[in-house]
Each structure stands twice: as structure tokens, then as C-alpha cells.
Chains A and B, each alone.
Chain A
Amino acid sequence: MNGFTHLHVASAFSGHYGVSRPETMAEAVAAAGSNALAITDRDGLYGSVKHIGACLQLGISPIVGVDLAILDEDGALLARSGILSHGHDRGVGWAKLCEIVSVAHASRAKSGQLRKESQVGIKRSQLAKILGKTGGCTILIGPDSDVGRAVLAGPKQLAASLLAAWREIFKSPGAIGVEIVSHLTEPGTAYSTEQAQRMLSLADSLSVPTVLTNAVRYLEPDEALTADVLDSARHLEPLGLFTPQPNAQAWLKPAIAMQALAIEICGEASRAVQLLDTTERLADRCRLDPVNDCAWGKPKTPEKSALGIDGNPFEVLWQKAHAGIDYYYRSANAALLSQVHHRLGQELITINKLGFATYFLTVADVAQMIRDMNIRSQARGSGAGSLTNYLLGISGVDPIEHDLLFERFLSTERSTLPDIDIDVESARRHDIYRAIFKRYGSNRVTLLSMQSKYRGRGAMRDSGMALGLEDEEIDDIAKNMWRFSARSFRGALGTKPELSALATAVEEDRRMNLLVDITERLDRLPRHISMHPCGVILGDSTLLQRTSVEPSGLGLPMSQFDKDDMDPMGLLKLDVLGVRMQSAMAYAVREISRVRGEKLDLDNIPRDDPETFKTIRTTNTLGIFQIESPGQRELTGKHQPTEFNDLTIQISLFRPGPMKGNMIAPYLDGRHGFAKADFIHEDLVPILKETWGVVIFHEHVLRILNVMTGCTLAKADEMRRSLENPRVATTVKKFFHEKTRERGYSEPVIKRVWEILEGFGSFGFCKAHGAAFALPTYQSAWLKTHFPTEFLAGLFTHDPGMYPKRLLMAEARRLGVKVLPLDVNKSSDEYLVEPEGIRLALTEVQGVSENEVARIIEEQPFKDIADFYLRVKPTRRTLERLALLGAFDSFGGKRRSDEAGEDPEVTRGDIIARVRQLNAIKNRPASEANQPTLDFQVLERLPTGNIEPTMAEKVSAELSLMKLDVSEHVIELYRPMLEDMGVVNANELVGLRNKTEVLIAGVRVATQTPPMRSGKRVVFISLDDGTGCSDSTFFDEAQARCSHILFNNRLLLISGKTRRTGVRGVSIMAENAWDLRELWEQWAKARPQFRERAAG
């Protein structure tokens, strides 16, 4: 007897159900000699493209289906069934499978909202309608069906009539089969041999074909334990509180075991042979022909009609690009123009050869649409290296000016669709998606999905939940999980000081031991599917016959395929990425226009403004795109950029690759004249002079290969890609050595250049990408320099950076920009610029609903608190919070003379008392004038004699209700102690000598554990103390002393020595750290006047 084909197999992409990766399972069956394997993920085709790809590579036949709930007319579950697509039918089966899955999900979307609670499933009648008379798929009725349940529990006739009903409804050829499964469970229960036997004889009596499967959930029996934990995550209940899988038999059993099962079920050999035979016949019918069934690898772009073009797409592209020359190079001289024409000619030839004209026209069309919507946009990535993209308005960086190469982006040596990513204002991203759907039609567009994976903390949390640990226990462990792969959780226990408490617990507590084991098991498994943050798939009108879709959180349909599936399926993906900084800058530009009446075109400001570079060089770069992190601040201090290209280089240098490759120090030494730049050979001087002889960019490698070997830039990029793969690198090495010798380079030169190229591997960065990033970096720095108030208002409103907003407020204080308190008559849902400063937005107050904010804005202005109370109808909580935060303070001032009494000044205390009076009213009076239920004049008399809250109380209210300290910096509350201890301010550090012993304090605003050359972990902590930001570095020894403090506290005191890192750069080599609040308690104990004071 030959192999056995498994027809019911859930992969790990069956979220919280399957355990093994499709590729691993395909490899296992191919190695065991099978020539086909099915994938039937739960509720979707999530793993199918990976499965098909793996099968093609292994030379076995892919089979694809879905495991889906089939419902009766009332929506009750009839069966959970495998539905398999037939193959070699020119895509009929595949298209129907896509449609079935999409319909099963469609019911979850109602009026643009995703209903999470509703079940995925398809009504049997809908399913019959899709299959029609011609069919295209086979439905397997198995143990988890009405028939399967009836053979166990019901009278015999019931099961027979239920199966007859299925046969009656599905008339197309081969539409149904009975699935025989035994997981060897207790006789009389589901998935027992007894149930399988009854199913078999029932099917035989009605002449319905039978197939044997093992309803597989995992490759190996051992993985059943992981399946238990996934079940717990799916049920959202700890193990023991739901009905678990009956045993560990749902594995991908080898042919011999499946044959033994067949005999055990059938009892006699001949029936068993027949069962195995019908199984193989169904398998044969379902073997897919990926190219003709799924349009595998065939690029599909919108039709000309959908793009609104007539004639040959290439001619249209040619015309559009040349029209761009007149606009973008209107003041260019003849030499530049001829360079532009030559370059464009070459690019267009390549694009035409690859047949990508429609692709470029599509992207240009989307870019134009975004501009027409008045939304800021900017291409990023290697696409910025294309002159065509620049001329079509897709990219804002001139590739000729910045010396960027097209070949890095696209060449005839490769034929995969290129990636063009467009960054847009994050706040408008969804508007753009909707516009794309509208423009091209929902039959040609879907969103892209992504499978998020279990990572350290997530894996530990779900494992902890499965074991029934308390939430606090889980939180405590999660807090101390920093930068290690959960797959090596147990190893980390011994080496990470902050995990030492857990390590002890593991020795004493069996559950903790299990927690570590199952966390390691969950790590990296797919966790759930969600909308990709930026991907949109554009296709032709057959798109929905190629991919199944489900509603996204946004309500728009989303493909069940992820980004890795795009290329194999020939689908065109456009990344429209929401960038908060673009929103922040757009907001600043609008505020400049609103407040000053100045119209500003940010894309046309001069890119050599000395003031802007001066700002950057101070290292006060908080809020500036890409260069605000502690590490970038330190690098800025050392680097001291003076021109746009410096920003491109700096952004590219601060990457894991160049850091590991030790590129930063030689570059800085060359730049500052500490060392003479070494160009190795005079031919390399023009290429490397911008980086003082250091190879940083992909473009450098391309040009070096081009100059030294004489190969084309396109070929050079292919070689650069091969360098990343050590196995192919040897052919490149041979080529490089031969050609350079032929061209007369000396052996030492060849040797040294090769060492650099070989070591370069994955280290380098695409310059086009760096330049595309540098543009918003420069633009945001320019805004911060010239319009700090408007720029900060944009940052506050759109919160683009890595730091908490309260740190940006400290930066505003440092810049002398006032943050004005909440005021119900002036605050809005955005941070508005006023003559005196920036007004705090209402949206910061926690617990205030969107509707309340909208009502406040609509009803403004208010004449007093009662007026506000009547018209806004706030909840009691909102009213009280607004009062505590001083939003009604402007109604205070002096009392009217007739009620002045002894307290002429109204305090916030009086206002709070007043609000509490209002909140005490049981039935809120209506605001209609004809309902004089209450005499508000009486109530309008403000209470008197309540004291003004202290500054400490105000800051404490701000921190607890807004997570912001507006009135003064929270650290001020600790000032007496800090002065007593001689703590240094962050802005004083720059004046100190190297290696000065210091104490610094502040709020922890950033914690980073970046990858280091040595592989050792280093922790960077940034503290904000209101005068600026200090950066401390903790190495192993210091971490051992205090890592439990570092990760668990917000307010810290750190001791250490200063370390000068450049002209303006000072950081601290930390020695120890303490919890500031704990220190305060000890300090204040001896000083009664300070007790009760500190908050935060």
C-alpha cells in the first residue's frame, strides 16, 4: 500500500487552534514519501499561500480547503466541516472557496462595524447556492456535525435522515463526503472508533462516499500540550474550566498509522482498503494547479479603464514622466537637463521591459489622489531612488541631487513587483483607504492583513492565564521581561538580574516551572490576524476570486493573506503608512495659517537653513523626527550636522547594522579630522568622500562593484543581495577577484575592498531610504526652529514621538512656550495656539467622553458654571474633574460687589464646592426656558471660604486625571530633598568635567535596551527633570545592583559619573539607582513640615 494523504489539517495559522507551521508539516510528509498534503485552516485561507509555496518547493501537490461552521437557517450550528477546493479546473474551485470563506465572514460586518462576538459561519443554503450545479468543492461531514452527534446519541433513523438531507441539498458532483475520524477516545464519545464505525456504516447504507482523515491540529504528539494552552487562550479561560481536547491523538500520523486506524475502524481489510482508496481519489481531485487555479505568480494590476487611461499604458507613463521634467527641473541648466533625460530614458526602458507601466501609473494615481485630498504625503524606501517616482510626484526627494540609484529599487535582473511605500498623515489614513476603495471599486481593493506572533510578554501572559495565575502575578513578571526571546525564557532566568525573583519562584513553585515551559512553547506562534498597519492590495476585477476577505476593525474588507503572500500570489501591495509626524507638521502649518495668516509650503522651504542646523546641533532635538531618541541625541552631539546630506548619513548610521559593523567611529574620526580618511584606492574617492571612506550605503556597494569590476549597476545590486547569503557569496567573490585583477587593481587593494564588501552583508542601509527619512527630519527641525509654538501644538495634538507628552511639555517650558490650563471656554479637542501660548485640549481629561467634548465645543461659550451644566449635560465625574483641573477658574475672579462679603476672591476651592452642589441635585433640570424648576440665581451665588488648592494638590490632580503635570514639573515637589542632597539638574551636566560624580533625578521617560556589538545587554534610561533630559547607561554590574528598581519605578534618582561623548554630548555612566518616592518618605520622616507633600 502507498502513502496516505491528509485532507484535514489545521496549521498554526488557525489562530489559537493549530500548532505547527504549514512549511514544517509539508516538509514532514514529503520526507515520509507522501506526494500531497492539504491545509484546512479554521475559518480562513490564512496559511494556504505558505502551504502552496512549500509544496511547490518540495515537489508535492498542494491541496487547500477551509474548516468552517455551517449553519442552519436560524444560524444554529449544523456542522464544523472541512471544505476542500477541487483542482485543475481553471480556478473554479479556488474562486468558490474564496467566496465561501468571504461570505462566512461577511455577517460579522454590520454597518461598517466589526462585531467581534458574532460567529464566523455560512448558512447551508448559501453554501449550496455558491456551489450550484457545477460544484467546485467537496464538503466533508465529520464527527463534529449533526450526523456525527446523532450517531452517538440519537435514534438510528435520525442520523440517516440528517445525512439524507445533506445529500438532498448538495447535488453537484462530489459535493459531499462523510469524514471518518477516530482519535481513539473513550467508546461512546465524540472522535471514538465507535463513532467512526457508525458513521461508516451509515454512509455505506446511503451510498455516500467516505474518506479517512485525522482532523490534524499538530505535527507531533508532543505539541498537543501547546494545543491545550491555545485552547485556553481561545476560550479565555484557565485550563480545567472548559472541556479540553480528549487526548493527544490529533497529530499528523504517518501512513502506516493511518492504515492501522482504517483497519481498526473497518474491522475488515477490504473495507479498509476501499476507505483509503476513496480518500486518495478525493485527494487527486483536489490537487491544485497553482498557476492556472490560483493565478500563482501572475502580476495583476487594475485595468486601464479603472485607472482612467486610454491607449498604451507605457506611452501614458512616458508622457506623464516627461511632463514632470518641465515642472520639477524648470530652472535646471542644459547639463543637468540632459542628465535627467538620459536617466529617465534608462528607467523607462527597464520599466517597460518588466511590463510595470500600469503599476507606476497606479501608484502615481493614488499619490495624486492623496494630494488632491490635501493630505501630506511622502514616498519612502528604495522607491525614492527612482527619478520616475520623483517626476510622477510619488517621491519628494530628488534622486539626482542626492545621488540615489534606480537599480537599488528596480532592475531587469529581478521581476518581483517593487515596493513603493507612501507615508501620509496618520490622522487621515483611513480617509485615504476609503477613497481608494471608492476610486477603484471594492472588487479591486482590499486591505492587507498581518499575523501578529506571540512574543515574550504576550506568550507569558496567555500562559499565565492558562495556568490560572492571578493578574497581579502576571503583571509583576511581565514588568521584568526585557529584551530576550521567550523561546529562551529558562536560559534568561539565570542571566538576567531582574528575573532573579522569578528564578527563585521557579525552584519553589511548580506552576512557575510550567509557566516557563509553556511560554517557551507559545513563543513565535501566530497569535491573531489584524489589519496590516499600512497595506492596501490593488488588483483587477478578479481580485475577490483570488483571495478570501474578512471585515477589518475598520469595517473595510481585508484579505486573509499577509505581506509575504503578495509576491507569490502576484498581488500588488501599496503601503500607505500613517505617520503621526506628518499629521503633527500638517497641524502646525494649519495653525500658522490660522493664527498668523501665513501660507507655508513645507515641501518648498530651503533645505540649507543655518538656523535649523544650529537648533539640531544643540542636541535639544526632542520632537524632531528620527533624531530625538537618547542615542540619536548623543550621536547628534558628536556628529554636529551642518547640511541635509549629514542628516541622511546620521539616520542611516544609527541602525543596528552600522552599529554592529563599527562604522560610526571611523566616520566621526574622519569628519572631525581625528584620523585621515582612508579611501583604499583613488577610484573610490568620488564614491566615499561623503562618508570619509566608510561604506555605509547600499548605493556605495553598487558603485564600488560597478567601478572596480565594470559590471552594470543592476548586476551590482544582484551581487549586493547575494552578499547577504553566505552560500551564494562565494560566486560573487570569484567574480570580484577575477574582474578586479583583469582591470589591474593590486592584490592588497582587492583584498581590503573585498573584506569590506563581505563584512557589509546586511549591515548597510539604502541611501534612498535614509534621504526619504531625512526630509521630515529636516522639516520638523525647521518648524521647531521657526515656529516652536505651532510645532509643539502639533506634537501635543498628534503625539508622534517616542516620549510621553509630559516630557514635550517640559520641552515647551524650556523653550519659554506656555502651556495654558484647561478652560471650558477656550479648550478644544486639539491644542489651539493662543497669543500667550498653547491651550490644553479637553481630550486629555481621562474619563471625558468624545460626545461630551463635542458638546462642549458646540455649546461654547458659557457664561457660568450653571450654564455649562445645563447645556453640556456632563456626567458628574466629568463636571468634577473639570473643576479640579481648573477648567472653570475663568468664571472666578472677583465676586459681584453685592455678594463680596468677606472673601472677594473666588478660589478654585469655591468652584469645586459649587460643582459638588450641582452634582448633588438628584434630577437634572432641563435647559428649556419654560421649565423653571430651580432657581439658579440662588445657586449661582458661589460658595465662599474654601481655600485654594496648593500647588502640590494641583499637580497631583493633573497627574492623576491627565497624566500630565501642567502647573509645574512633578519633580518640583521633591525639590527640597534634591537640593538637600546636591542633585544636579540635567541642563547643568554639559558644564561639568568628565568623570564628575553626580546624582541626577527625574521622571523616567525612555528605557531602551538596544542591540550592542558585544552582545551584552546595556540599559539606557532617560530622565526628565524639567530642565532637560539626562541619559544614563547601565552596564552589567550596575544592572545587577538595581535593575528591579529601573524597570518598576517612574521617579528615579541615579548616581554615576559623567562621560563626555562629544562637543555637546554628556551622558552618565550609572552606578546605582533608587526609587525617588521611597527616598522621599525616609527623608520627610525626619522633617514633619514636608510630610504628605509629594505626589506623582
Chain B
Amino acid sequence: MRRMDENVSVSINRTGEPVGFLWRNSTYRVRTKPIRWFARRDWWLEAARVQRGVGAGVLEVEVWRMVASKAEDPDQKTQFEILNTTASTDGEKAIWRLVKVYD
């Protein structure tokens, strides 16, 4: 497993699930139903402000674990973990980070 922290652009379906993403100039397709959970962040180490109403995004982040493969090489499946750092359900606005690759 490799840890990293790289921008990816993700496309999602109507229910908000990722269906594919673009990473290092390759397009990946999600091959099985992705699993979602919410992980926490140590806001006291990173946040600049935590005033009332700042929102839960300071504390938690949405994580997706998915098995995907390149469009041109569908059998070469790999597990990925991608964060939705904005906790936004709007796929256009969301900023996604690829954090783990299970080689």
C-alpha cells in the first residue's frame, strides 16, 4: 500500500458515488460498488478557525474506497482510497484527493 496525496478529478453518478476518475493522465473506471465512510481530521492541528457554524467539514472528511482499473486495461484492478475534502455532494465543486493505492 502506498500513501500519497494527489489531486484527482472524479466523476460521480446521480447518487453521488464515484464511477471513474482521472489520475496521472490515465482514466480509471470503478469496477465494483464503492464503499463510503467518514473519517475524522485532527482539526486542532490544522484548522485556522473553528467558530460556531464553521461546519463539520473541519472535523470529518468523506472517504471512498473503490476497486478501479484503467479503461484500456480493465483486468488490471487496483484498490484506491479517495477523499472528498469539501464534503460537497456537488461533483463539480468537490475537491478530491487520492490518498492510498493498494498495489
Residues of B within 8 A of A183 (CB): 38
Residues 218-276 of A contacting B (Cβ, < 8 Å): 221-222, 224-225, 228, 239-240, 244-249
Contact B50 A518 (CB under 8 A): yes
Contact B63 A186 (CB under 8 A): yes
Most buried by A among B39, B43, B58, B60: B60
Known: A221-B56, A224-B60. A185 touches B44 (CB 8 A): no
Judged by a CB distance under 8 angstroms, whether A520 is at the interface is yes
Residues of A within 8 A of B51 (CB): 490, 517, 520
CB-nearest residue of chain A relative to B48? A510
Known: A239-B44, A247-B38, A467-B44. A514 touches B50 (CB 8 A): yes
Judged by a CB distance under 8 angstroms, whether B1 is at the interface is no
Inter-chain CA distance A184–B52, complex, in Å, is 24
Known: A514-B47, A517-B51, A520-B52. A184 touches B40 (CB 8 A): no
Residues of B within 8 A of A225 (CB): 43, 50, 54, 56, 58-59
Contact B44 A247 (CB under 8 A): no
Residues 57-84 of B contacting A (Cβ, < 8 Å): 58-60, 63, 65
Contact A248 B56 (CB under 8 A): yes
Judged by a CB distance under 8 angstroms, whether A187 is at the interface is yes
Known: A184-B36, A514-B50, A518-B50. A224 touches B42 (CB 8 A): no
CB-nearest residue of chain B relative to A466? B44
Known: A185-B37, A186-B37, A514-B44. A248 touches B60 (CB 8 A): yes
In the complex, how many angstroms separate the beta carbon of A246 from the nearest chain B beta carbon? 6
CB-nearest residue of chain B relative to A187? B35
Contact B38 A521 (CB under 8 A): no
Residues 409-465 of A contacting B (Cβ, < 8 Å): none
Residues of A within 8 A of B59 (CB): 224-225, 228, 247-248
Known: A187-B35, A222-B54, A225-B58. A513 touches B49 (CB 8 A): yes
In the complex, how many angstroms separate the beta carbon of B27 from the nearest chain A beta carbon? 27
Most buried by B among A187, A247, A490: A247
Most buried by B among A187, A248, A490: A248
Contact A244 B50 (CB under 8 A): no
Residues of B within 8 A of A214 (CB): none
Contact of B49 among A228, A244, A517 (CB under 8 A): A517
Known: A186-B63, A514-B47, A517-B50. A239 touches B42 (CB 8 A): yes
Inter-chain CA distance A490–B52, complex, in Å, is 12
Known: A239-B44, A240-B44, A467-B44. A186 touches B39 (CB 8 A): yes
Residues of A within 8 A of B58 (CB): 225
Inter-chain CA distance A986–B37, complex, in Å, is 70
Residues of B within 8 A of A213 (CB): none
Contact of B56 among A224, A240, A513, A518 (CB under 8 A): A224
In the complex, how many angstroms separate the beta carbon of A890 from the nearest chain B beta carbon? 60
CB-nearest residue of chain A relative to B46? A510
CB-nearest residue of chain B relative to A244? B40
Judged by a CB distance under 8 angstroms, whether A14 is at the interface is no
Residues of A within 8 A of B42 (CB): 239-240
Judged by a CB distance under 8 angstroms, whether A192 is at the interface is yes
Residues of A within 8 A of B38 (CB): 183-185, 246-249
Inter-chain CA distance A244–B42, complex, in Å, is 9
Contact B37 A245 (CB under 8 A): no
Contact A514 B49 (CB under 8 A): yes
Contact B55 A221 (CB under 8 A): yes
Inter-chain CA distance A774–B37, complex, in Å, is 66
In the complex, how many angstroms separate the beta carbon of B69 from the nearest chain A beta carbon? 21
Inter-chain CA distance A466–B51, complex, in Å, is 15
Contact B53 A222 (CB under 8 A): yes
Provide the main secondary structure of the chain B interface: mixed
In the complex, how many angstroms separate the beta carbon of B89 from the nearest chain A beta carbon? 13
Residues of A within 8 A of B63 (CB): 186
Inter-chain CA distance A511–B44, complex, in Å, is 8
CB-nearest residue of chain A relative to B51? A517
Contact A222 B49 (CB under 8 A): no
Inter-chain CA distance A754–B3, complex, in Å, is 76
CB-nearest residue of chain B relative to A264? B36
Contact with B along A191-232 (1 / 0, CB 8 A): 011000000000000000000000000000110110010000
In the complex, how many angstroms separate the beta carbon of B87 from the nearest chain A beta carbon? 9
In the complex, how many angstroms separate the beta carbon of A466 from the nearest chain B beta carbon? 7
In the complex, how many angstroms separate the beta carbon of A491 from the nearest chain B beta carbon? 12
Known: A186-B63, A228-B59. A521 touches B39 (CB 8 A): no
Contact of A245 among B40, B44, B47, B49 (CB under 8 A): B40
Residues of B within 8 A of A247 (CB): 37-40, 59-60
Residues of A within 8 A of B43 (CB): 225, 228
Inter-chain CA distance A245–B56, complex, in Å, is 13
Most buried by B among A187, A225, A245, A518: A225
CB-nearest residue of chain B relative to A246? B40
CB-nearest residue of chain B relative to A516? B51
CB-nearest residue of chain B relative to A182? B37
Inter-chain CA distance A468–B37, complex, in Å, is 29
Residues of A within 8 A of B48 (CB): 510, 513
Inter-chain CA distance A186–B37, complex, in Å, is 5
Contact A187 B49 (CB under 8 A): no
Residues of A within 8 A of B53 (CB): 222
Contact B37 A187 (CB under 8 A): yes
Inter-chain CA distance A69–B58, complex, in Å, is 31
CB-nearest residue of chain A relative to B47? A514
CB-nearest residue of chain B relative to A245? B40
CB-nearest residue of chain A relative to B15? A260
Residues 456-512 of A contacting B (Cβ, < 8 Å): 466-468, 490, 510-511
Inter-chain CA distance A240–B44, complex, in Å, is 8
Residues of A within 8 A of B49 (CB): 513-514, 517
Inter-chain CA distance A244–B60, complex, in Å, is 12
CB-nearest residue of chain B relative to A468? B44
Known: A239-B44, A248-B60, A514-B47. A192 touches B37 (CB 8 A): yes
In the complex, how many angstroms separate the beta carbon of B43 from the nearest chain A beta carbon? 7
In the complex, how many angstroms separate the beta carbon of A232 from the nearest chain B beta carbon? 9
Inter-chain CA distance A222–B59, complex, in Å, is 9
Residues of A within 8 A of B52 (CB): 222, 517, 520-521
Residues of B within 8 A of A521 (CB): 50, 52
Inter-chain CA distance A247–B63, complex, in Å, is 12
In the complex, how many angstroms separate the beta carbon of A1084 from the nearest chain B beta carbon? 47
Most buried by A among B39, B44, B47, B56: B44
Contact with A along B23-38 (1 / 0, CB 8 A): 0000000000001111
Inter-chain CA distance A438–B40, complex, in Å, is 54
Residues of A within 8 A of B36 (CB): 184
CB-nearest residue of chain A relative to B55? A222
Inter-chain CA distance A514–B47, complex, in Å, is 8
Residues of A within 8 A of B40 (CB): 244-248
In the complex, how many angstroms separate the beta carbon of A233 from the nearest chain B beta carbon? 14
Residues of A within 8 A of B55 (CB): 221-222
CB-nearest residue of chain A relative to B43? A225
Contact with B along A350-361 (1 / 0, CB 8 A): 000000000000
Inter-chain CA distance A911–B57, complex, in Å, is 70
In the complex, how many angstroms separate the beta carbon of B63 from the nearest chain A beta carbon? 7
Residues of B within 8 A of A246 (CB): 38-40
Contact A240 B37 (CB under 8 A): no
In the complex, how many angstroms separate the beta carbon of B70 from the nearest chain A beta carbon? 25
In the complex, how many angstroms separate the beta carbon of A263 from the nearest chain B beta carbon? 11
In the complex, how many angstroms separate the beta carbon of A477 from the nearest chain B beta carbon? 17
Contact A184 B37 (CB under 8 A): yes
Residues of A within 8 A of B60 (CB): 224, 247-249
Residues of A within 8 A of B54 (CB): 222, 225, 517
Other A-B pairs, 6, CB within 8 Å; known A184-B38, A248-B40: A185-B37, A187-B37, A225-B56, A246-B40, A247-B59, A490-B51
Q: Closest 4 A-B residue pairs measured CB to CB? A: A221-B56, A248-B56, A247-B38, A247-B60
Q: Measuring CB to CB, which residues of chain B are less than 8 angstroms from any residue of chain A?
A: 35-40, 42-45, 47-56, 58-60, 63, 65
| A/B interface sample: 6 pairs, CB < 8 A | A224-B56, A225-B58, A228-B43, A247-B37, A467-B44, A511-B44
